[in-house]
């Protein structure tokens, strides 16, 4: 009876919901106005800002929209949040911490800066004390403000600034974190200087390590704030699906195997299925020549588009669960097509195989089943062989993906403080 009811529900959705014109979810005026703007200007240029109130003592905050770009070189608009200490900046200015958030979803209203009082410490959906339908806030925000730092948190493109969100396209997401730092540094109100740390979790951790391997993008001139001094990268359980791609020349057989292995790893439950299919959806957004129908059935394409254009991560997963239960995999083609082109796009948008431009420190929990630790273990091995300085620390206790930000805070606060102070750092790569 339950399966018959699910079929009826889905049939109704297909008959009525998907044949109507798509409309973006309701947006606050700041974002609806930004979505009408064209992505014209310098990288990091603030094209709209709005001062907002914050419950954080001694802090001032703004919502911003700024110019960024994506893996294909197209200009985009990203929105985000800037928080700075009140009062005159010290001589030499304030360092900038640029935060890349974890998965919130793919619809325009999934940007963390859009919630009430967004300038607050990290508030996680899954944890006791979470009070929202998605994660929002910024880890260690209070500590950074008290230490005299400027903090900027991108929403990423497509989460409030128009355009399709390129979920899990680490290069595009990494560009957004850098251009957010450029934006914060260009704002006279912040008193920011050029010293910059990039830190992120999950999707944002992948953005951090991708940016670490993009020296030419970092060095380019003509931006809103040239010559940022990147001091280091902190990656909390960083995601990088491209690390599993064949190291040698790609061919059809290796591309097919890559997809088979990905599906075995990420289709074990409906939560992982949502991450995986949203990754397909985001990759297609970055590479419009791809077709989602290569990987999903006709019904799957319609359902995915309707859900991912309108819902954030956890409600998207709940929707799949309600309508499909244990049959969610029926939305995927049994034999994916055009896999070689898909893998090439995933590699292009993944973490580049380049020596990191500054030290990288990774923190993770041994009980992380959302981002398998093998991902960043392979990344560390690869980056260290290229001459990078990449540390990787398993957090004490039985930490999951969702307890990683809080449990890692004492460690990364110390690491960041030393980088800002210019303290020497030994090479943290494993010694053979």
| Residue bearing the bigger pLDDT, 246 or 124 | 124
Q: Do 279 and 263 sit in the same domain of this protein?
A: yes
Structural domain range at position 216? 37-242+358-421
Tell me the average pLDDT across 220-231. Answer: 98
- Asked whether residue 429 is assigned to any structural domain, the reply reads no
User: How many helices and strands (H and E) does the chain possess?
Assistant: 13, 9
Query: What φ, ψ does residue 38 adopt, rounded to 5°?
Result: -95, 145
341, β-bridge pairs: none
Quick: pLDDT tens for 313-363: 999 999 999 999 999 999 999 899 999 999 999 999 999 999 999 999 999
Quick: pLDDT tens for 98-150: 999 999 999 999 999 999 999 999 999 989 988 888 899 999 999 999 999 99
- Asked whether residue 430 is assigned to any structural domain, the reply reads no
pLDDT at 5: 35
**Closest Cα to residue 106, out of 252, 274, 234, 260?**
274
**Closest Cα to residue 172, out of 69, 38, 243?**
69
- Asked whether residue 32 is assigned to any structural domain, the reply reads no
Q: Do 16 and 61 sit in the same domain of this protein?
A: no
- Asked whether residue 162 is assigned to any structural domain, the reply reads yes
Residue pair 149/95 in contact (Cβ under 8 Å)? The answer is yes
Which residue in the block uniquely carries the two structure tokens 């057989």?
A: 253
**Angle, helix 339-349 to helix 170-186, in steps of 10 degrees:** 30
- Asked whether residue 304 is assigned to any structural domain, the reply reads yes
- Asked whether residue 338 is assigned to any structural domain, the reply reads yes
- Asked whether residue 30 is assigned to any structural domain, the reply reads no
Q: Name the average pLDDT for the chain.
A: 93
CATH number, domain at 127?
A: 3.40.50.1820
Quick: pLDDT tens for 51-94: 999 999 999 999 999 999 999 999 999 999 999 999 999 999 99
> Two tokens at 302?
């319609």
- Lowest average pLDDT, out of 6-15, 31-40, 176-185, 218-227, goes to 6-15
Q: What's the farthest any 2 CA atoms get from each other in the chain?
A: 71
Q: Do 236 and 252 sit in the same domain of this protein?
A: no
Distance CA 98, CA 383 (A): 22
Tell me the average pLDDT across 273-289. Answer: 96
> Two tokens at 335?
């034999």
Q: Do 191 and 90 sit in the same domain of this protein?
A: yes
Cβ neighbors of 326 (< 8 A, separation 6 or more) are none
The structural domain count of the chain equals 2
Q: Do 290 and 340 sit in the same domain of this protein?
A: yes
Q: Do 94 and 200 sit in the same domain of this protein?
A: yes
Which residue in the block uniquely carries the two structure tokens 């998965």?
A: 103
């Amino acid at each position: 009876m339950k399966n018959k009811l699910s079929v009826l529900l889905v049939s109704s959705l297909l008959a009525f919901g998907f044949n109507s014109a798509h409309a973006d979810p309701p947006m606050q005026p700041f974002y609806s106005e930004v979505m009408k703007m064209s992505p014209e200007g310098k990288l990091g240029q603030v094209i709209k800002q709005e001062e907002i109130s914050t419950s954080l003592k001694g802090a001032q905050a703004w919502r911003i929209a700024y110019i960024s770009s994506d893996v294909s070189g197209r200009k985009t608009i990203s929105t985000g949040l800037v928080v700075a200490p009140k009062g005159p900046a010290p001589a030499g200015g304030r360092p900038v911490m640029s935060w890349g958030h974890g998965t919130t979803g793919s619809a325009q209203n999934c940007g963390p800066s859009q919630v009430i009082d967004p300038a607050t410490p990290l508030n996680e959906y899954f944890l006791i004390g979470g009070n929202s339908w998605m994660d929002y806030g910024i880890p260690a925000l209070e500590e950074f403000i008290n230490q005299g730092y400027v903090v900027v948190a991108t929403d990423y493109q497509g989460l409030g600034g128009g355009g399709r969100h390129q979920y899990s396209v680490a290069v595009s997401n990494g560009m957004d974190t850098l251009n957010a730092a450029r934006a914060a540094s260009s704002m006279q109100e912040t008193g920011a200087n050029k010293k910059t740390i990039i830190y992120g979790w999950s999707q944002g951790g992948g953005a951090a390590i991708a940016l670490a391997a993009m020296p030419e993008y970092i060095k380019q001139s003509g931006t809103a704030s040239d010559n940022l001094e990147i001091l280091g990268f902190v990656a909390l359980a960083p995601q990088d699906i491209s690390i599993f791609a064949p190291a040698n020349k790609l061919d059809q057989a290796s591309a097919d195997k890559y997809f088979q292995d990905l599906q075995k790893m990420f289709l074990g439950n409906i939560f992982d299925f949502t991450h995986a299919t949203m990754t397909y959806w985001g990759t297609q957004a970055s590479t419009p020549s791809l077709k989602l129908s290569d990987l999903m059935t006709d019904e799957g394409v319609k359902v995915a588009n309707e859900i991912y254009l309108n819902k954030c991560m956890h409600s998207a997963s709940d929707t799949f669960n309600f309508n499909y239960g244990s049959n969610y995999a029926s939305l995927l083609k049994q034999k994916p097509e055009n896999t070689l082109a898909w893998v090439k796009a995933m590699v292009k948008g993944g973490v580049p195989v380049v020596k990191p431009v500054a030290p990288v420190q990774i923190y993770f929990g041994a009980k992380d089943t959302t981002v398998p630790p093998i991902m960043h273990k392979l990344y560390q091995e690869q980056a260290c062989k290229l001459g990078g300085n990449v540390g990787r620390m398993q957090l004490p206790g039985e930490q999951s993906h969702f307890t990683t930000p809080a449990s890692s805070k004492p460690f990364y606060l110390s690491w960041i403080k030393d980088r800002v102070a210019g303290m020497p750092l030994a090479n943290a790569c494993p010694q053979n």
